[in-house]
Structure 1
Amino acid sequence: MIKAEQTIAFRFKDFRISKFSYEETEKENSELEMGFHPSGRYNENSGLYELFFTFTATEKDANKKVIKVKSVSEFLFDQPYKFEDIPSYFFTNSIPIIFPYMRSFISTLTLQANANVLMLGLIKFANVSEPLKENTEVINS
């Protein structure tokens, strides 16, 4: 018989774009290199996790940032936990939860700019969970 393991529950609370910039490419149909930078802030007293996620698209030939979007998302745990007790599945799943919002914003931004619409496809975020965990500030106040 397999014993059921108790899971730590969290819920998605909020998403917002805190800052963005767009600069038209030098050449039409330039190749863009995309990057992500995740970081976070966790309050051990309230159980609130703020996820800061930055997306950049850089023109490969000119090494010029074309798009930069910073977002802030909030997740709330069912109760406050020590940072060490937060399971790895939170770090693996939190970014894919907010990514559709980010993807939609980027598509709309490029569409409204009357530029080549940037449609981000499906992305495997498994390799982003460790950097997110490492770039998390823990607050004990």
Structure 2
Amino acid sequence: MENPAKSAFSFKYFAIQESHFVRKPGDLGEITYKITPSGIFNKAEGLFQLNIEFLLSDENDNCLIQLIAIAIFEFKEKIKEEEIDNFFFINSPSIAFPYLRSFISTLTSASGFEAISLPLFNLSKLGEELKQNITVEAE
């Protein structure tokens, strides 16, 4: 078997930049989620900062989680914004999301209330939204 082709980018790290958590006693109603991606492409350094705004709430108003997470990716070669392919836009949120899921599970389980485990999401639709929400830092 030949060596598989290496990706043009690598994952550097994930961090929670801001978080707000409210949990009141009582049963959780149906939980809703909102995920909003955006990004900052630093041409000079070949870095891409993925920003994920995440909102979780329940219909009984007993739980609210708002957070902003960042994931940093590095491109192996100097590239232009228009050279970033759709593969990156689709896959970068999918790479970062397990870290977000883990944070929410840990946060809610440590609260003394029932832990919330986020379901697996098909994040491929976020790729197009991310592509539309990019800021480019000039060289």
- Per the normalisation by structure 1, the TM-score is 0.88
Amino acid at match of 1:114: G
Change (3 A) 1:140 1:66: same
State the alpha-carbon separation in 2 of the partners of residues 89 and 81 from structure 1. Answer: 15
- Per the normalisation by structure 2, the TM-score is 0.89
- Structure 2: where are the runs of 5+ without partners? none
- Structure 1: where are the runs of 5+ without partners? 1-5
- Deviation string 1:14-69 (CA, Å, 9 cap, x unpaired) is 1111111111147412221111011100012221000011211022254x870012
Residue among 75, 89, 92 paired with 1:77 = 75
Amino acid at match of 1:135: N
Which residue of structure 1 lines up, in the alignment, with residue 118 of structure 2?
120
Which residue of structure 1 lines up, in the alignment, with residue 44 of structure 2?
45
Residue among 116, 128, 139 paired with 2:137 = 139
* Structure 1 runs (4+) greater than 4 angstroms displaced: none
C-alpha contact (below 8 Å) 2:28/2:63 kept by paired residues = no
State the alpha-carbon separation in 2 of the partners of residues 81 and 74 from structure 1. Answer: 16
Backbone CA RMSD of aligned residues: 1.9
Which residue of structure 2 lines up, in the alignment, with residue 67 of structure 1?
65
How many pairs align?
Answer: 135
State the alpha-carbon separation in 1 of the partners of residues 129 and 25 from structure 2. Answer: 32
